[in-house]
Amino acid sequence: MRRPQLCRAISHAGFGKLRFKTEYEQELWAECSRLIANCIIFYNASILSRLLEHQERTRDMQGAEATKKVSPNAWQHINLQGRFEFQKAPDALNVDTIIRALIGLPSNRAALVA
């Protein structure tokens, strides 16, 4: 998957309804779509980097080679449509918990960072 496809998916969230009336609003929407795409890519790259570090540290070379082939442009796991609920005090994102789930470790194990 490539970045333009991700930007297009973000722009068409909400079933492709136009959200702008002026050229300025169109430019703003395009910039916001790029910002969201960059956030998704950063999020994915952070997780992939931590996973790769773990695999290399544990000498899981087969897993490391597979991880190197994964694109950070994926968005299937991101909710681009639908309903979002925000809590008054949201839980902080814990990348260590995500990595533990990916490698199958119990959630009560110590942090992955050596």
- pLDDT tens digits, 44-59: 999 999 999 999 999 9
Res 60: pLDDT: 92
Mean pLDDT of the chain: 79
DSSP-derived 3-state class of residue 8:
helix
Count Cα neighbours of 29 within 13 Å in the Cβ-side half-sphere: 16
Task: Express each pLDDT in 13-43 by its tens digit.
Answer: 656 666 678 888 888 888 888 888 999 999 9
Decide if pLDDT at 106 tops 60.
Answer: no
Decide if pLDDT at 69 tops 80.
Answer: yes
Domain ranges of the chain: 3-103
Torsion-angle region of 14 (φ positive above 0: left; ψ -120 to 50: alpha; else: beta): left
Q: Tell me the pTM.
A: 0.72
Enclosing H/E stretch for 68: helix 61-68
- Mean pLDDT throughout 86-96? 75
Q: Which structure tokens are listed for 34?
A: 């790029």
